[in-house]
Structure 1
Amino acid sequence: MAKTFGSESTADEVLEGVNLTGKRVLVTGVSAGLGVETARSLVAHGATVVGTARDLEKARRALAAAGNPSVELVEMDLASLASVRKAAEDLLKRAKPFDVIIANAGVMACPQGKTQDGFETQFGTNHLGHFVFVNRLVPLLKSSARVVTLSSAGHQISDVDIEDPNFERTPYQAFTAYGRSKTANILYAVALDSRLKGRGVRATSLHPGGIQTELGRHMTPELVEQMMARINRGAKPGQAPAFRFKSVPQGSATSVWSGFVAPADAVGGRYCEDCHVCEVNDDATSRVGVRSYALNLAHANDLWRKSEQMVNERFPL
């Protein structure tokens, strides 16, 4: 009988009894938080892990604090397409295939700014950086590979705005920008899955849960208040909000579950949370499930084309 996992499961619990020897995994963002724990748990269960980080020294210190798991490091700044393309090129030259890519790195609710290429920081980093990086690495994906993209329940805040992705005509709000970028993460997985499933490669997205990591370093008291107000609005009358922060090991569980444990056909093109596939829920007062706009394939294809235009690169996968 298959084990059942949930919101309190940890990555090690999900991988208990799973032998990942021979599996090669790429994890972006292994200098803190979920990336470090995901890499550690994968190595502990036999996987060979390649990790990317903007600051390699910081990544080495973080991995050392996690017990020195054997992780091969590649320098990459998702806010610079030149850096992204160089990292991808370096990996392509090595010509070693991957079983799973976990697009884990990201930024959250940061002040208005631009990436080195002039994109709004959160959309440019969370979506466009991974869009170029993962698409360039498709030739390295094995025929049964998976691409796991970390999104967030924050996608419920806002759909993407394909006509104004850089807030050139829209007043900037940190959480709106975050929501747009996280919806883009889900739509990217939907579009990628539709393009690659014929080859046996599946793509999925997930919400790891609310975790207190460096991701929240830009969270001012005002932004925290906004976030908690939104959570409280989603609570049932007379009840306390059913929200608790997860530990980092718990936050890493859905990444490894969707990458290695869940059936590929179950998670492909879908959105996961707490080690299960979420149902569509368009109730704006609820924070449960996934919004339908994030799983719409036509919408995902529109975003794909817009993303290609923005990065000036086509990916006819």
Structure 2
Amino acid sequence: MFNAKSTTDEVLAGVDLMGKRILVTGVSAGMGVEIARALASHGAHVVGTARDLAKARTTTGGIANLELIELDLASLAGVRAAADALHARAEPFDAVIANAGVMAGEFGKTLDGFEMQFGTNHLGHFAFVNRIAPLLRRGGRLVMVSSGGHRFADVDLDDPGFEKTCYEPFVAYGRSKTANILFAVEFDRRHRDRGVRATAIHPGGVATELGRHMTPETVQALTETLEADLRAGAPPIEYKSIPQGAATSVWAAVVAPADAVGGRYCEDCGVAEISEANWVTGGGVRAYALDPERAKALWALSEKMVGETF
């Protein structure tokens, strides 16, 4: 029914979200703003999170039915404070869309000493989502915004912080995006008996602020990788507008059948097939990203790293 060109407004046509409460992380720019706008325009009450509240107030100023809370995913103290504030209000959610993230910056660490991309994209969301999981209503959804970039690398359970291996920006990004998918797989397994389902999605190639931390050297390395993929027979990247890129998130959260997307990886407003093609571009999901045993192992490691059991 929908495809790579579908927009948020097309996906939500005729959908009434009055009475629904949906949390979206990362609403200060790009797709987060569009996801919030689209859901709110159909009647949902949206709680948007942002590290920079001043910036978020500016970018979301015209959106009704939206409230903002501060959340710094690179700080476990910040994660816990935001989750505690939501619990204090005890207002349930129908869906959580974990959209915030960073991509391919130089090596750095979060406030808690985790490698920046794994710490922000995975561990920050892991701790935050698990802490607010009791607020998800029966029949609720969790949507983890992953990426086709998961094809750069599987998670490294033995060296998540690049202490034993040489840091490469897109390898780190790939690990964190694979972790997003594996988290959705295990979260779905743990919560589906109470009617809560989880899925991961790839928004597609979209020009946003996500790549703002990339150095010229990183951009050049990515360009060379994509050119090599094309020579090997990979399909060219077809870039999307922001409304097209945000469409799969809202489709997976409020439109798609729960049993169709639960524990799966979605792209272009549909469920993706497993692909073992040797290039980064193109559709499909790597089998390692959906491996249930790998998902359990990552969950255990993540609990150890954040110092909490869920």
Above 0.5 in TM-score? yes
Match of 1:292 in 2: 287
**What CA RMSD, in Å, does the superposition of the two structures yield over aligned residues?**
1.3
Shift of 1:8: 1.0
Corresponding position of 2:57: 60
Confirm or deny that 1:252 pairs with 2:246.
yes
Aligned counterparts of 2:225 and 2:256: Cα–Cα separation in 1: 31
Q: Match of 2:213, SS? A: coil
Q: Does 1:106 align with 2:101?
A: yes
Distance in 2, Cα, partners of 1:308 & 1:146: 22
- Structure-2 separation of matches of 1:200 and 1:36: 28
Gaps of 5+ in 2: none
Contact 2:91–2:135, Cα closer than 8 Å, also in 1:
yes
CA-to-partner distance for each residue in 1:256-306, whole Å, 9 max, x for gaps? 001111110010000001101001111223632000000000000000000
Residue 142, structure 1, aligned to residue 137, structure 2: yes
How much has 1:31 moved relative to structure 2?
0.5
Aligned to 2:124: 129
Is 1:82 aligned to residue 84 of structure 2? no
Asked if structure 2 preserves the Cα contact closer than 8 Å seen for 1:79 and 1:129, the reply is yes
CA distance in 1, matches of 2:118, 2:66: 28
Deviations 1:8-38, CA, capped at 9 Å, x for gaps? 1111110011001111000000100010010
Superposition TM-score, scaled by structure 1 size? 0.95
Give the deviation of 1:236 after TM superposition. Answer: 6.8
Segments of structure 1 that go 5 or more residues without pairing to the other structure are none
Q: Which residue of 2 aligns with 1:22?
A: 19
Provide TM-score, normalisation by structure 2: 0.97
1:41 aligns with 2:38: yes
Number of matched pairs = 309
Equivalent pair of 1:232/1:241 in contact (CA under 8 Å): no
Q: CA deviation at 1:80?
A: 0.2
CA contact (8 A) 1:77 1:83 kept: yes
Q: Percent identity over the alignment?
A: 61
2:210 paired residue among 194, 199, 215: 215
1:39 Cα shift? 0.1
Give the corresponding residue for 2:2.
Answer: 5
Alignment-mate amino acid for residue 153 of structure 2: S
Could you say if the C-alpha distance between residues 118 and 49 of structure 1 is closer, same or farther in structure 2, counting changes exceeding 3 Å? same
Choose which of 173, 189, 199 in structure 1 pairs with 2:194. 199
